[in-house]
Structure formats: structure tokens, C-alpha cells
Copies of this chain bind each other. A is one copy, B any other.
């Protein structure tokens, strides 16, 4: 029996080693590779991806899994087996032709999107996108059919890939609360901020000095450069493997705050990955739980920690030292400049107060698309109506800044958007629990001490990996499941009362 389970673990560890190769080749592709390498890199990646898929759907694995539960009593192993089965079922439930068709339609649509967005060409996009939606619905149905009764709606079957454990009805309840409160809150914050004078932080900030500043921030946040790297890429991201977390940042020479925020954010992602238990390395039970928790870690580092009044006041001295042109901005000025709220068209540029409304809009549209209550061709009208309702902005005829702005849907990644906002809610809720545990948190951050945050997160989130469901983790860490009140309280405190 033990030997049998060992064989199963070894099987998944082999898959994880192929994934290690894919991860770092992908990093290289984004950060290092010259354009001439594209063709052979794409071929190699496709080969490894196919190989991984073959390993995951092989009868050998099905057989190992089928016989594993027999006599298994250790609760951790039972849980480990459950996570292995989740990974196996996710792969084997889709017919090979569907996987291929999806990949093809996704890359055609995404490729077209790059120019169609620029050209405000909704009709051109729609022509490709309808096939993507059709295949995504087929995928959702296939996932439902494979596990009868498991997913309450087809959309849940896709949501499960990113927000594993958080159902659409659970999320809908939470989003309903946010929709009730946020539009009015946004109005109040905007009105309040109208009375404030905000320093203009733009200037000339040499990239090399910004790099050093961001490196200092990472060290201050506990990043270990013996176990990771920071590089430059067109869009900030984080990736990596055991003992080797890699984040990227991009720099603009007229702005230093954007890069610092991105660095804090990606450092949070990297911290979660680096804090996963070594003994579960390569096993599904050892993976980060879901994207809602992943995003909660990055947002906790970015919005709760870095943007806290105490920390930014502390870190200001490093900013002044490396970028002397910032000397005129004190802690309050920096804090005020980084916490501006303004309804706007673009999600990725939105402040933390309006951001959830962008996500709720997308959630409502994509769930309708997959569950069949909305057709792709009706997206622009619905988008415009909801933007007016939530943010009082019209996108009529403006697809570039409306429904064509994100890449997610073009390649068929439906179900991802909610994780941004559930992550934001989780981060506020976890930080509130953390503050209860450390009443002196402001003194600690004002002294540049972030170690207590890492320790608490390691004990309560990172070390759990996938050994519990996401809401079990939230419950154990914070005393309750995801509850939007913590986020709303955080927004009120920071933006209406000028606290934290």
C-alpha cells in the first residue's frame, strides 16, 4: 500500500519536473529570449505540454489512482489523493479534439485581438470570438458531464479552474453586497478627494536607480535573492519553482510609484510560492490553493502592507535617498498621491475602490455567456449599460476602452476575473486578522519590519497549500469565510477617514 502511494507520488513528481521545464522556458521566453528563438521555443513548449498531458491522462495513472484509496487512512494522504484526482479529472474529462480546437481558436482570436483592440474593431473580434465562446461552453458542459452533480452551473466548471472551491453562488452573494455599497462609496471618496491638493510626482527618475530602489523594497519585504531573481519585462509577472522565485517589473523614467507597487504585488505572489511546504513539492496537495488566495497575497503586500501609511512613511527615506528629486514629497504626500480614486475605463489602471466594479461587470457577462443567458454579439450593449450603472461612464462605440480591453476572454480564460476581487476581499480580511494578532502592527511597519506579516501568512496560508479548501483556510485564518465587510471597512478607513 505504501509502495503504491509512493508510486503515485513519484508519478506526479515526474509531471512536476516537466512543469519545472515549462515554467522556466516560459520565463526565458518572456524575459531573455531573442526574437529569432520563437519558432523552436514554441515547438519545444508544445512538445512538453503534450507530453505532460499524455502523462496526466495515461491509463497507468488512472490505474494507480483507482487502486490508491483502498485501505488508505492517513488523512493527509487521503487529501493528497483527492487533489491528485482533481488534477487528473480536469485533464481527462476533455476530448483531445476539443483541447486542440480550443487551443487553435484561442490563439487565432488572441492574435487578432492585438490589432482589433487598437482598431476598435468589435465586429472583426466577434467573428473569431464566437468560436471561442462556443468551445468554452462545450468545455464547460464536458466538465459538468464528467462529474454529474458536482458543478451547479456550466460556468462553475470553468470558475473551478481558478477560484477552486469558491462557487458562483457564493461569489454572486458577495458581489451583490459590493454592488450595493461601492457605487455610493466611490461617490463619497471622489467628493472628499476633490478638496485635497495632490502633489504631482512626475519627474525624471533614472531606471538604474529605480531598479536599486525596487530591490531594496523586495529585501525589506523579505525576498531572498539567493532564492529568486528580479528582472524586467513588458508586463510584470511572477513565476518560478522550488527555491527559485522570479518576478519581473517594468520601469518608466517619469514615474517611480508604478514599479514599486508592481514589485510589492509580485513579491507577494512569490512569497506565497516560496512558503509552500517543501515536503509536498511536486504534489498537487502542495500547490497554491487557488487564484483567489494567490491574489490575496499579492494584494496584501501591495495594498495593505506597502500602501499603509506606516510603511510608506518608513520607506520614503529609501525613495529620497535613491531618487533625490523626490525630496520635496513627505510621507503624507506620497500616500495621498498613491491613493487617488477616480472612475475610469480601464480595469488594470483602476484604483482599489473602483476595481471590484470592473470585475463584477465582467463576472456577470462571462457567467451569462457560459450559462447561455447572453450572446457574444450582445456584449457591447451590456458592457455599456453596466459601466453607466456602476461607474457612470459610457463606452458606447468605444470598444478599445470597453469590452476589447482585456486579453482573458480572447483565449478562452473564462472564470478568472472573480479571483481579482475575491483576492482583494481576502487580503483585507486576512490583514484585519493579522492586525488583531499584532496590535503594534503600525509601529512595526513604521520601523520597516515586515517579518511578522510573513510569519503569520506562512503559518496561516502558505503552509496549508492545498491541504484544505479555500474557505476552510479563510475560516481558520480569519475566523470566517470571505466576507466583503472587511474590504468595505478598509476602503472607508483609508479613503474616508484617512487611516491605514
User: A residues bordering B, Cβ < 8 Å?
Assistant: 14, 17-18, 20-21, 24-25, 28, 32-41, 43-44, 47-48, 51, 224-229, 241-244, 281
Contact = CB atoms under 8 A, between A and B. Distances in A.
A142 B228 CA distance: 44
**Oligomer: number of copies:** 2
A244 B37 contact: yes
8 contacts: A18-B47, A21-B21, A21-B48, A32-B32, A35-B226, A36-B244, A37-B244, A39-B243
Contact of A25 (B21, B224, B281): B21
* In the A-B complex, the 7 residue pairs with the closest CB atoms: A37-B244, A36-B243, A36-B227, A17-B47, A20-B44, A40-B242, A17-B44
Nearest to A33: B244
A25 B29 CA distance: 12
A37 B18 CA distance: 15
A40 B13 CA distance: 11
A43 B21 CA distance: 10
Contacts of A40: 17, 20, 241-244, 281
Contacts of A17: 40, 43-44, 47-48
A457 B241 CA distance: 42
A107 B431 CA distance: 48
Contacts of A47: 14, 17-18
Nearest to A244: B37
Given A34-B244, A40-B244, A244-B34, A24 B18 contact: no
A35 B244 CA distance: 8
A267 to B, nearest CB: 15
A283 to B, nearest CB: 13
B242 A34 contact: no
Contacts of A34: 225-229, 243-244
Given A25-B25, A33-B244, A37-B244, 18 more contacts: A17-B40, A17-B43, A17-B48, A18-B44, A18-B48, A20-B41, A20-B44, A21-B21, A24-B25, A34-B226, A34-B229, A36-B224, A36-B243, A36-B244, A37-B242, A38-B243, A40-B243, A51-B51
